[in-house]
Amino acid sequence: MQTRENPKTEGIDLDHGAFGRHGLSDVVTHFDRCGYVPLPGLLPEETVAVLREEIAAVLPLSNRKDFVMECMDNTPRHMTTVSGLAIAERSPAIVDLYHDPQLIAGISSVVGRSLEAAGDPVERHVLNMLHEAGDTHGFHTDDYPVALVMFIESPDCPDGCGRLEFCPVENAHDAQTRSHAVGDAYVLRSDRLKHRVQPIHNGCRRTVLNFAYSVEGEPVEQTPSASLLYT
Ligand SMILES: O=C(O)CCC(=O)C(=O)O
Ligand SMILES: [Fe+2]
């Protein structure tokens, strides 16, 4: 268990072994080619439990979003979101996890670059919840180059729903889909890969925390997408 300065963050620990459990011999080359690396079991059960409590504390500040995003080819958004600012206000524990040097070092080792906190406090760490029939986070690219997405709830319905779908960097026409269980995470080259979350079925729920990072020294071009989705 790590010791953190903020007593509220006790209980938030990660299984750092997940950074080596992706089954890839050269993860950096794979990330450059494919843009997606799974991190199964990054969040131990106790951490998921603590994060659930943190999420309960931020949910009163959530926004329901049902619209098409013009700046992303008019793709649909049907989801409930919590912005980075609201998370900073209500959950020092999530903020602390976002800035955790061991976490940042782990993701940096997966992508082969030094990462740093995103400049935009709205987009830095956000919560996305799909919980009504048909909820979906439509195709888009992110402003920041690297996303760490962690699963707090994930549908396990037999037909499969709420899968991540992405188009690899080198083959934009070859869409791939991936499912994730509670406690899993993945790293995505999110500014280059078009990605979306497929619609969820009635009765299913999918809740993720998305941590966005910059590559040290590389500027980021911002679109209106984050302010449309999180404010
Ligand atoms: O929920 C996911 O798996 C993707 C989240 C995402 O693409 C985003 O927040 O920009
Ligand atoms: Fe995204």
Cβ(228)–Cβ(172) under 8 Å? Answer: no
Question: Smallest Cα–Cα separation from 180: which of 208, 159, 204, 201?
Answer: 208
**In 3D, which of 186, 190, 229 has the Cα closest to residue 209?**
186
pTM of the model: 0.96
For tokens 């590389």, name the residue: 218
Q: Is 137 in the pocket of ligand 1 (CB under 6 A)?
A: yes
Q: Give the CA distances from residue 47 to residues 98, 160, 227, in Å, rounded to whole numbers and listed in that order.
A: 14, 25, 29
Cβ of residue 81 lying under 6 Å from some atom of ligand 1 = no
pLDDT of residue 113: 97
Atom of ligand 1 nearest to the CA of 180: 3
Contact predicate 172/33, CB 8 Å: no
At 8 the pLDDT is: 65
Q: Report the separation in Å between the CA atom of 34 and the middle of ligand 1, taken as the mean of its atom positions.
A: 17
pLDDT at 140: 95
Ligand 1 site-directed mutation target among 65, 164, 206, most atoms within 8 Å of CB:
164
Which residues of the chain carry a pLDDT beneath 70?
1-8, 169-170, 172
Per-residue confidence (pLDDT) for residue 25, from 0 to 100 = 86
The pLDDT assigned to 10 comes to 76
Does residue 197 have its Cβ closer than 6 Å to ligand 1? Answer: yes
Residue 97 CA, distance from chain mean position? 13
The secondary structure of the chain in percent helix, strand, coil, rounded to multiples of 5, reads 30, 30, 45
Residue pair 67/219 in contact (Cβ under 8 Å)? The answer is: no
Alpha-carbon gap, residue 186 to 193, rounded angstroms: 14
Contacts of residue 208, Cβ cutoff 8 Å, sequence gap at least 6? 127, 128, 149, 150, 151, 152
Confidence (pLDDT) at 32: 92
* Å from CA of 173 to ligand 2 middle: 18
User: Does the beta carbon of 122 sit less than 6 angstroms from any atom of ligand 1?
Assistant: no
Instruction: Pull the structure tokens for residue 231.
Output: 């404010």
User: What's the confidence (pLDDT) of residue 5?
Assistant: 61
User: If you measure from the C-alpha of residue 197 to the centroid of ligand 1, how many angstroms do you get, rounded to a whole number?
Assistant: 7
> Looking at domain 7-230, what is its CATH homologous superfamily?
q2cbj1_9rhob like domain (2.60.120.620)
